[in-house]
């Protein structure tokens, strides 16, 4: 009897959260997948009864006036660019983030806590505003430009803002804490006696790092890579603000379908493909490390 009452209480406690997530998170995703295989209406919206794979065909082909299809690599190029920029940001944040996490992990308790707070503050502060700060730094006549010309290091203008380079700088800056924190979490749990043992057995620093520390920190490194790669590949406002027209990414393309282009099924198809991409990388991660990221 009391068993049933415990179960009942448990389900009542869970109801608001489960219902909210089911109705307002999962259901919209299903709807999005459905809408991606419907025909678009003229001024936005969809024709509910008209099935169509046009959104996915449109991704690869251009429909000419006589209804023949020609290969169009524009959208593929945007996906490729997003992949490259997000991948590049992941590699660079790893190269900066791992040594930083190691540096913090090797400090004493009190310093560690202070440094982690220093990393966490940008993690929680407004990314949009932090991106805006880079416009002030990067634009022609901005801080970096003036500093370089005062030092006599540059000829003419910097011309970095509104290029893919600026987007990459923005990514690395925005997502660096996302890399440092999970790596630090795995280094913090690391049994340093193992490293000591490696030293005792005659390993040099490089060997200890490569053979002991890196393998043990691998779950944190992989989680960090996911936490940088996922938001970077789906990013909207960083390429919008720092990238200009030449560095359009998936996010901008998606937004465009609900703004000027008014093609909902195509927008839905694009974000569905982005979602699939992310789910595949998550699946690889869980298969490899047998646990969800962030744990």
Encoding tokens for residue 91? 């590699």
Q: Cβ of residue 44: shortest distance to other proteins, in angstroms?
A: 9
Please, what is the Cα angle at 119 between 173 and 181, to 5 degrees?
90
CA-based nearest residue to 101, from 235, 223, 241 = 223
Closer Cβ to other proteins, 104 or 164, answer by number: 104
Q: Which is nearer to other proteins, 63 or 286 (CB)?
A: 286
Considering the complex, state which of residue 74 and residue 191 has its C-beta at the smaller distance from other proteins.
Answer: 191
b/e 49-62 (16+ beta carbons within 10 angstroms → b): eeebebbbebbebe
CB of 219 to other proteins, least distance (A): 16
> CB-wise, 130 or 165, nearer to other proteins?
130
Q: Is 184 exposed, middle or buried (0-12, 13-18, 19+ CB in 10 A)?
A: buried
Supply 45's token pair.
């919206």
Determine the Cα–Cα distance for residues 79 and 250; give it in Å rounded to an integer: 6
> Judged by CB, which is closer to other proteins: 96, or 148?
96
CB of 67 to other proteins, least distance (A): 28
Give the chain's count of helices (H) and strands (E): 14, 4
Shortest Å, Cβ 164 to other proteins: 19
CB of 66 to other proteins, least distance (A): 32
Q: Tell me how far, at minimum, the Cβ of 157 lies from other proteins, in Å.
A: 14
Torsions phi, psi for 42 (to 5 deg): -65, -45
**Residue 219 φ then ψ, to 5°:** -60, -40
Query: Token digits for 245?
Result: 């027209």
Nearer to other proteins, 168 or 172 (CB): 172
């Amino acid at each position: 009897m009391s068993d049933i009452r415990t179960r009942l209480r448990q389900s009542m406690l869970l109801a608001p959260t489960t219902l909210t997530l089911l109705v307002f998170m999962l259901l919209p995703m299903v709807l999005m997948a459905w809408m991606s295989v419907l025909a678009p209406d003229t001024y936005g919206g969809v024709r509910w009864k008209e099935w169509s794979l046009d959104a996915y065909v449109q991704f690869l082909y251009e429909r000419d006036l006589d209804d023949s299809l020609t290969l169009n690599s524009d959208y593929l190029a945007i996906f490729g660019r997003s992949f490259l920029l997000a991948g590049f940001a992941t590699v660079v944040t790893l190269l900066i983030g791992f040594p930083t996490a190691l540096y913090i992990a090797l400090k004493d308790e009190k310093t560690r806590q202070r440094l982690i707070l220093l990393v966490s503050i940008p993690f929680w502060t407004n990314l949009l505003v932090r991106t805006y700060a880079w416009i002030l730094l990067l634009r022609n006549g901005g801080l970096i430009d003036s500093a370089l010309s005062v030092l006599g290091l540059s000829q003419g203008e910097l011309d970095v803002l509104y290029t893919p380079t600026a987007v990459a700088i923005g990514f690395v800056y925005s997502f660096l804490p996302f890399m440092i924190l999970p790596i630090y979490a795995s280094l913090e749990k690391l049994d340093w006696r193992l490293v000591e043992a490696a030293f005792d057995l005659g390993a040099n620093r490089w060997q200890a790092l490569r053979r002991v520390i890196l393998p043990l920190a691998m779950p944190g490194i992989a989680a960090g890579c996911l936490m940088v790669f996922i938001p970077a590949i789906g990013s909207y406002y960083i390429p919008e603000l720092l990238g200009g027209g030449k560095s359009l990414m998936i996010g901008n393309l998606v937004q465009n379908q609900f703004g000027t282009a008014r093609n909902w099924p195509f927008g839905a198809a694009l974000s569905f493909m982005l979602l699939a991409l992310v789910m595949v990388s998550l699946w690889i991660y869980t298969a490899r490390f047998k646990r969800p990221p962030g744990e």
